[in-house]
């Protein structure tokens, strides 16, 4: 006697309302079976989003530490489910960066340390009188702009810095075959990772030992310069010397633009 086949019941996806049969919606990939949220389910989803090897943010951070250009290359090539969303990653990293920078008053302490250093240099210069008026004025301007910079950093990054940097990388590495949007993905991932690296290599050492703050931003900038070159090398896959001079020149242009245009905008905010 033949065994009756189990009846397959069509279900309607609760996310996009597509009628389908099976365990996953063919339109949006949501599971057929959903459940009412409990605290247990909430904690599971929360931990899954951050720690799961598939799309987990910690997995992305680890991968961006050792192979940033390859991550961007794979994401652009279509491996979207493997990695945490780059744009969400950048916003989370920048938000954490701004929060800790404000809480520790990193930039305020850096300006104070720089001001103290300039005054000490002027005292040691016994051969001639050193006019520190310009330096003091610049430091005072920086002190006034710091709160506005932190408050508007995500907006400036999203609509000004990242689009311009991506335009530069697209122009300098146009022969690599990537379009503007694909360059934007690369630089978004780098921006998120370097925001976290600032926490690790600037804020953390400052909290542990305050006097070294005057050196930290400069060491960080050198580290970011090298990190970008590694990412460019892995992503564009060009010769080392081509990556070195193109990557160095475009970063110099970018920093000049970010400094001059950013300051001009902050003056009017």
Mean pLDDT value of segment 31-36: 67
Give 167's Cβ-side CA count (13 Å radius): 9
233 — pLDDT class (breaks 50, 70, 90)? very high
pLDDT of residue 14: 75
Buried b (16+ CB within 10 A) or exposed e, 174-196: eeeebeeebbbbbbbbbbbbbbb
Tell me the pLDDT band of 1, cut-offs 50, 70 and 90: very low
Q: For 56-60, 143-147, 189-193, which range has the lowest pLDDT when averaged over its residues? A: 143-147
Query: In the structure encoding, which two tokens stand for residue 68, read together?
Result: 């940033």
User: How many secondary structure helices (H) and strands (E) does the chain include?
Assistant: 12, 2
Contact between 95 and 198 under an 8 Å Cβ cutoff? The reply is no
- The answer to whether 157 and 262 have CB atoms below 8 angstroms apart is no
- pTM here is 0.77
Place of tokens 């530490």: 65
Q: pLDDT class for 137, splitting at 50, 70, 90?
A: low
Instruction: Answer yes or no: are the C-beta atoms of 176 and 237 closer than 8 Å.
Output: yes
3-state secondary structure of 170: helix
Is the Cβ–Cβ distance between 111 and 213 less than 8 Å? no
d(CA 247, CA 9): 57
The pair of three-digit structure tokens given for residue 103, joined into one six-digit string: 């809480």
Name the DSSP class of 203.
Answer: I
5 SS3 class: coil
Mean pLDDT across the chain: 81
According to DSSP H, which parts of the chain are helical? 39-51, 57-66, 68-77, 86-104, 106-124, 133-151, 153-156, 162-172, 180-198, 204-208, 216-236, 240-268
- DSSP assignment of 129-145: ----HHHHHHHHHHHHH
Distances (CA, A) of 196 to 61, 89, 217, 218: 9, 10, 14, 16
Hey, which residues does 31 pair with through a beta bridge? 24
What confidence score (pLDDT) does residue 57 get?
A: 87
What is the band of 49 on the pLDDT scale with cuts at 50, 70, 90? low
Cα–Cα distance, 28 to 20 (Å, whole number): 11
Among the residue ranges 40-49, 123-132, 255-264, the one predicted with the least confidence is 123-132
CA–CA separation, 175 and 181 (whole Å): 15
In angstroms, the CA 253 to CA 258 distance is 9
Residue-level pLDDT at 146: 54
In the prediction, which pLDDT does 216 show? Answer: 93
List pLDDT tens digits, range 236-248.
999 999 999 999 9
């Amino acid at each position: 006697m033949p065994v009756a086949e189990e009846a397959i019941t069509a279900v309607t996806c609760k996310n996009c309302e597509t009628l389908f049969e099976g365990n996953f919606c063919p339109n949006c990939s949501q599971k057929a079976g959903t459940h009412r949220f409990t605290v247990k389910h909430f904690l599971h989803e929360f931990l899954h989003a951050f720690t799961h090897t598939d799309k987990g943010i910690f997995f992305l951070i680890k991968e961006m530490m050792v192979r940033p250009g390859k991550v961007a290359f794979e994401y652009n090539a279509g491996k979207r489910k493997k990695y945490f969303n780059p744009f969400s990653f950048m916003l989370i990293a920048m938000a954490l960066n701004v929060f800790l920078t404000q809480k520790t008053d990193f930039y305020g302490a850096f300006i104070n340390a720089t001001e103290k250093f300039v005054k000490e240099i002027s005292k040691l210069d016994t051969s001639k009188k050193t006019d520190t008026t310009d330096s003091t004025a610049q430091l005072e301007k920086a002190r006034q702009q710091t709160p506005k910079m932190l408050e508007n950093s995500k907006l400036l990054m999203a609509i000004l810095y990242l689009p311009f940097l991506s335009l530069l990388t697209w122009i300098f590495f146009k022969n690599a075959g990537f379009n503007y949007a694909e360059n934007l993905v690369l630089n978004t991932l780098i921006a998120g990772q370097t925001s976290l690296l600032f926490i690790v290599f600037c804020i953390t050492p400052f909290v542990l030992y305050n006097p070294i703050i005057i050196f930290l931003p400069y060491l960080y900038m050198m580290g970011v310069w090298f990190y970008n070159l590694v990412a460019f090398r892995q992503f564009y896959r060009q010769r080392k010397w081509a990556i070195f001079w193109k990557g160095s020149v475009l970063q110099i242009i970018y920093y000049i633009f970010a400094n001059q245009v950013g300051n001009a905008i902050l003056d009017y905010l």
